[in-house]
Amino acid sequence: MESRLNSRADFEAFRARARERWNDLWEGDRMVASVGLDSSATPKGADKVLSACKAVAYDTGMIVREVSGNGATWMEPWVEVKRPGQPPIVYGPIDPDEVPALLAGRLESRAIGVRGDTAFGTIPPLSEIPFFKPQQRIVLQNAGIIDPGSIEDAIGRGAYDAYFKVLFEMSQEEAIAEVTTANVRGRGGAGFPAGIKWESGRKAKVTPKFVVCNSHEGEPNVYKDRRILESDPHRVLEGILIACISVGAERGYNYIGGEHPVAIARFRKAVADAERLGLIGRNVLGSGKDVFFRVRTGGGAYICGEGSALMYSIMGVRGMPRTKPPRSVEEGIWRRPTVANNTETMANIPSIILNGGAWYASIGTEKSKGTKLMTVQGPMQTPGLVEVPMGTTLRTLMEECWGGMKPGFTFKGIQTGGVSAGPLKEEHFDLPVDFDSLTEYGGMLGSGGFVVFDSTICAVDFARYLTAFNRVESCSKCVPCHRGNPALVEIVDRIRLGRGSMEDLALIERTSKHVIELSLCGLGQVAPMPLLGMMKQFPEEFRAHILDGVCPAGACPIDRRPARAAAAD
C-alpha cells in the first residue's frame, strides 16, 4: 500500500510512477481485456462476462481489468481488447459463452470501434461511430477507460493535477476567476453561474464554510450523475476539493441518492483512497491547507434534490425546502455559508482549471457554455448517455447519437426537462439544446433527461404519470403544491376514465397557474408544466377522451357510462 504523501514532491513522484504504470499497461506485450461494469451493464450480464474473461486469463496470463460503462448502453455488455501491436478495440454486445471465441480472435464481427484516432483494418475509430461522433467528452473523458476503483489509474490519467495547481500555484481569486470566465452554469437544471456562487461564498465572513455536491438525482428518467460517479469518481471529488480551497471551506460533502448503490460504493472508495494518500485531511501535501470530506446518502425523496431540502437532509433533519433569502451562500448547513453545485458542474471544474476558463467558454453557445450530458429513454436504436457541446440540435441527438427510432416504432414526441417541462415534436428537431432555446416552445433542458415516446403512448396517460410523480414527491410543506398536484391528478383521471368535460381543461389551466405562482420551491413551480405541455402539443387527444369517449392510443381505462351507473358497480 502506498504511504501517505506529505509534500508536493511526494505527489509529483507518485504521479510520475502512476503515469509510467499507465503507459506500460498499454505499451507492453501482454493482452489486456477491459470489461465495462456499471448499474446498467451489470444487470445485462457484464459481471458474468468479466468472470469469463478472468477464467481465460488464468490459463493465458492476460490482464483483465474492470472499468466502468462508456455511456453506450446499446452495446452492453462490451469488452475492450488490446492485443500486442494493435490498438484497443471495443466489441459488443458479448455473451459470457462468447468470451473464449472473442479473446481468441474469432468474433471480429462484433467489433464496434477502435479506441484511438485511426482505423485498424476495416474497424473504424469510435469517434466516427454515429453515437460518439457529435460528442466532445470533457466530463466523460475517462469513462470506460480507467478502473474507477483505482486512484493510480485516475492519477495516471491526470486526476488531481488541477487540485495540485490550486493548492500551490493559484490564489483563491485566480481559481474563481477561471470558473467565472468559463461561465459554467449549474448542470442540475437551474443554470445559475457557478463562478458567481463561488465568489459569494469566498466573500462570506462567517466561518466555518462548507461545500456541497448535489448527487441526489431522483428523477425517474435521468441517470447522468450516477454514471459520472460510477465511471470517474475522482474527477467529481477533485472538483469538490477545488471548490473547498477556492471558497475557503474546510469541509466538503457529497449527497448521493440512496437508490444508487454502485455510485455510492465507488465514490466512498475514492474518498478513502484520497484520504489514505493525504489528498484529504490536515495540511494537504504540506500546503498548510486543511480539507475534510464526508459522504451522505439520501433516502429516496425527490424533494431532497432541491438545495435547501438537501441541506436539511445532510443535517439529519427532514428534507423540506425553505424560503429565500437567506441564500445558501449566506446561511446553509448549520446556518453557515454553503456553496452547493451539481455533480456534473463539479466534474467540469478540473478541466477548467487546467485549460483555462476561456478555453471552456469557447465551447457551446453565447449564453450556454461548455458541454452537456444528455440521457434518453425510449425505443431508440442506440440509447445511452452522451456529452455534446451546448447548442447541439435535437435532430443530431435523435438521429445520430441515439440512432433514430427502432424498427416498428413511430415517433410521437420527446419529453424534455425530466418531470419539469413539456414535450416537443418532430417540428422542433432543429432547435439547439441549451438553457434558453427550448423554453419558448414549452420544453426545457433541465438536467438533460429526455424520454422519447411513440404512437402507442397516450398523451393523457403520460401526462397523468408525470403529474402523479410530482404529487407523490411533494414534501407537503406548502398548500399550493401539496393540494394542487393531487387535484390535477384527479382531473386528469376523470378525463382518462371518459368522465371529463371541456371545462376540465380550463380548470387544469387555472389550478396549474396557482400551483406555479404560489408554490414555495422549484418542484411545485414547475410541477404542472408536463401536463400543460401535453395539452398544448396534443390537444386532439384530450378532446378525443372528453368528446368522443375514446383513447386513440388504447392506453386509458376509458368508461363512458354515466357516473352513477359506474359507481353502482
**pLDDT (tens digit per residue) in 2-50:** 689 999 999 999 999 999 999 999 998 899 999 999 999 999 999 999 9
Indicate the SS3 state at residue 379.
Answer: coil
**pLDDT tens profile 387-421:** 999 999 999 999 999 999 999 999 999 999 889 99
Give residue 325's pLDDT: 87
Task: Report the mean per-residue pLDDT for the chain.
Answer: 95
CB 513: neighbour CB atoms within 10 A?
Answer: 13
Pairing of strands 338-342, 210-215: parallel
Give residue 372's pLDDT: 97
Q: Determine the Cα–Cα distance for residues 231 and 437; give it in Å rounded to an integer.
A: 30
Whether 324 has a pLDDT exceeding 90, the answer reads no
DSSP 8-state class, residue 304: G
Answer whether CATH 3.30.920.30 is correct for domain 29-128: no
**pLDDT tens profile 466-487:** 999 999 999 999 999 999 999 9
Q: Which of 298, 213, 223 is nearest to 448 (CA)?
A: 223
Q: Determine the Cα–Cα distance for residues 81 and 90; give it in Å rounded to an integer.
A: 6
Q: Please check whether residue 541 is in contact with residue 550, taking contact to mean a CB–CB distance below 8 angstroms.
A: no
Torsion over CA: 487, 490, 495, 498 (sign): negative
**How far is residue 405 from each of residues 220, 401, 455, 460, measured CA to CA in Å?**
21, 11, 11, 22
Pairing of strands 79-82, 89-91: antiparallel
For cell 464526508, name the residue: 294
Helix or strand (DSSP H, E) at 415: strand 411-415
Give residue 565's pLDDT: 42
For cell 466516427, name the residue: 128
Whether 322 has a pLDDT exceeding 60, the answer reads yes
For cell 467528452, name the residue: 137
The residues near 64 (Cβ < 8 Å, ≥ 6 apart) are 32, 33, 34, 35, 50, 53, 54, 57
Report helix, strand and coil shares of the chain as percent, to nearest 5: 45, 15, 40
**Lowest mean pLDDT segment, chosen from 102-111, 163-172, 316-325:** 316-325
| Span 371-454 CATH architecture | Roll (3.10)
| pLDDT top residue among 564 and 46 | 46
The fold of the 459-568 domain, in CATH, is de novo design (two linked rop proteins) (1.20.1440)
Give residue 564's pLDDT: 39
Whether 566 has a pLDDT exceeding 70, the answer reads no
Residue type at 333? I
> How is residue 348 written as a grid cell?
467540469
Q: Determine the Cα–Cα distance for residues 437 and 433; give it in Å rounded to an integer.
A: 7
Q: Residue 218: which pLDDT band, with cuts at 50, 70 and 90?
A: confident
Q: Which of 448, 439, 464 is nearest to 542 (CA)?
A: 464
Q: Please check whether residue 421 is in contact with residue 221, taking contact to mean a CB–CB distance below 8 angstroms.
A: no
**pLDDT tens profile 375-387:** 999 999 999 999 9
Pairing of strands 449-454, 386-389: unpaired
Q: Determine the Cα–Cα distance for residues 458 and 468; give it in Å rounded to an integer.
A: 15
Give residue 562's pLDDT: 46
Torsion over CA: 440, 219, 429, 512 (sign): negative
**pLDDT tens profile 223-273:** 999 999 999 999 999 999 999 999 999 999 999 999 999 999 999 999 999
**pLDDT tens profile 120-154:** 999 999 999 999 999 999 999 999 999 999 999 99
Give residue 561's pLDDT: 47
What value does the mean pLDDT take over residues 55-82? Answer: 95
Domain residue spans of the chain: 29-128, 160-358, 371-454, 459-568
> How is residue 175 written as a grid cell?
481559481
Q: Residue 304: which pLDDT band, with cuts at 50, 70 and 90?
A: very high
Helix or strand (DSSP H, E) at 140: none
Q: Determine the Cα–Cα distance for residues 126 and 118; give it in Å rounded to an integer.
A: 9
Give residue 567's pLDDT: 44
Give residue 61's pLDDT: 86
For cell 410521437, name the residue: 412
Torsion over CA: 438, 439, 442, 444 (sign): positive
Q: Determine the Cα–Cα distance for residues 556 and 280; give it in Å rounded to an integer.
A: 55
CB 327: neighbour CB atoms within 10 A?
Answer: 15
**Lowest mean pLDDT segment, chosen from 55-64, 76-85, 198-207:** 55-64
Indicate the SS3 state at residue 358.
Answer: helix
Give residue 551's pLDDT: 95
For domain 160-358, give its CATH number from 3.40.50.300, 3.40.50.11540, 3.30.420.60, 3.30.450.20: 3.40.50.11540
**How far is residue 499 from each of residues 355, 474, 550, measured CA to CA in Å?**
60, 27, 11
Report the share of the chain in percent with pLDDT over 70.
Answer: 98
Whether 93 has a pLDDT exceeding 90, the answer reads yes
Q: What are phi and psi of 251, to 5 degrees?
A: -140, 135
Q: Please check whether residue 38 is in contact with residue 71, taking contact to mean a CB–CB distance below 8 angstroms.
A: no
Phi-psi region of 337 (alpha: psi -120 to 50; beta: other; left: phi over 0): beta
Whether 560 has a pLDDT exceeding 90, the answer reads no
DSSP 8-state class, residue 286: G
Whether 559 has a pLDDT exceeding 70, the answer reads no
